[in-house]
Amino acid sequence: MAYFLQLVFAGAAQGCIYALIGLGFSIIFKASQVINFAQGELLLVGTYVVASAVLNWHLPFLLALPLGLLVTIVIGLVFERLVLRRMIGRPPFTVLMITIGLDIILRTLVIVGWGSRTIPAATPFSVTSGFNVASVHLGSSDLWTIGVTIVLCIALYYFFRHTRYGLAMRATALDQEAALAMGIDVRNVYALAWGLAAAITTLGGVLLAIDSLAIDPNFGNAALVAFPAIILGGLDSVSGAVVGGVIIGLTSVLTAGYESRLPAVVGTGLHEVTPYLIMILILMIRPYGLFGSRKVERV
């Protein structure tokens, strides 16, 4: 039982990271019907900046983190300003291809700037820190991950429900032309979505890096693991990204924890497959995801 609870705790923490990364995808998708394939590379740049700030420039972690967030927010805003702003009203597929281009550019820049070696990640506390509750070890990094995610979800909920800009974003997501006719500045909405998404994803990346201890230029692929999470939650649903993330995290960690007890023929890689199996199962029952709406653009 303790083993099971331990796995559930670890799975929840892992799921929160997927949720954060997934939130980045769904906020941009909701605002502009674009799947941002550069999401993983925004996260990569962010974690590299935080790691450098701590290890090379000897900044405290709590200063390095906002610096990393700032850098990715600026990249998101500049990209929005220089490229996406000219693409308003164009087919989402065109913009999607451009994000793939941005992805390649960012990854190359990281390799040029930091090299392709593995470097240690910035970690504000040791992996072993934490405390035990009835033989379940609650690690500091996992506790922080879960806590940060919960606080962020509450803040986002408040933002979307009770602020002018939140309302503007929701209105634009529902009907861009009607929003424009109301005088909502759609360009500002896109900028806000990109800035917000970049920051949240980077936060997810930094938390993930604390767990994995080291990062390399392939670290951005973590965003791909978050992909089944947003698909099963429903691409255009912000709460769906969170629920989807937690489901994927739990499935993946629980399978990893129990796969050694399965017949040897299954092998040891099952936990990498189960998130996709769950995704396919849920999509068979609900083609638009758990919380998705039917109008979602198929790309």
Partner 1 sequence: MLELQDVAVTYQNVIPALRGVSLEIPEKVVVALLGTNGAGKTTLLRAISGLLPLHRGALVGGHILFAGERLDRLSPTRIVQLGIAQVLEGRRIFDDLTVDENLHAGAITVRNPTAIRRAYDRVMSLFPVLAERRSSRAGYLSGGEQQMLAIGRALMASPRLLLLDEPSLGLAPFMVQRIRNIIAEINAEGTAVLLVEQNAQMALSVAHYGYVLETGRVVLAAPAARLLQEENIRQFYLGLREGERQLALGRLRQRQERVAERRWQS
Task: Enumerate residues 6+ apart whose C-beta is below 8 A from 12.
Answer: 142, 146, 246, 249, 250
Instruction: Report 130-149 residues binding partner 1 (CB under 8 A).
Output: none
CB nearer partner 1, residue 143 or residue 180: 180
Instruction: Based on the shown chain and the rule CB under 8 A, indicate whether residue 89 belongs to the binding site for partner 1.
Output: yes
Instruction: Compute how many residues bind partner 1; rule: CB under 8 A.
Output: 20
Closest approach, Cβ 97 to partner 1, in A, equals: 19
Residue 88 interacts with partner 1 (CB under 8 A)?
A: yes
Where would I find the beta strands (DSSP E) of 108-211? 119-120, 130-133, 136-139
Question: b/e map of 54-77 (b: 16 or more CB within 10 Å)?
Answer: beeeebeeeebbebbbebbbebbb
For residue 138, which phi and psi values (nearest 5 degrees)? -100, 100
Give the separation between CA 121 and CA 73, rounded to whole angstroms.
20
Fill in the per-residue mask, 159 to 198: x = in contact with partner 1 (CB under 8 A), - = not in contact.
-----x--xx-xx--xxxxxxxxxxxx-------------
Shortest reach from residue 288's CB to partner 1, in Å:
14
Q: Which residues contact 34 (CB under 8 A, 6 or more apart)?
A: 28, 84, 92, 95, 96, 99
Read off the tokens for 10: 């670890």
Closer CB to partner 1, 89 or 263, in the complex:
89
CB atoms within 10 A of CB 155: 10
> What tokens appear for 97 in the block?
């291809």
Residue number with CB closer to partner 1 (193 or 210): 193
> To the nearest whole angstrom, how small is the minimum distance from the Cβ of residue 180 to partner 1?
5
Q: Based on CB atoms, which residue is closest to partner 1, 7 or 235?
A: 235
Question: Whole-number minimum distance, CB 161 to partner 1, in Å?
Answer: 9
Residue 212 or residue 293: which is nearer to partner 1 going by CB?
A: 293
Q: Tell the smallest beta-carbon distance from residue 275 to partner 1 (Å).
A: 29
b/e map 130-148, b = 16+ CB within 10 Å: beeeeebeebbbbbbbbeb
Measured from the CB of residue 162, what is the shortest distance to partner 1 in angstroms?
Answer: 10
At its nearest, how many Å lie between partner 1 and the CB of residue 173?
A: 9
Q: Lay out the site mask for partner 1 across 91-130 (x = CB under 8 A, - = otherwise).
A: ----------------------------------------
The token duo for 293 is 């709406």
> In the beta sheet, which residues pair with residue 136?
133
Binding site for partner 1 (CB under 8 A): 88-89, 164, 167-168, 170-171, 174-185, 293
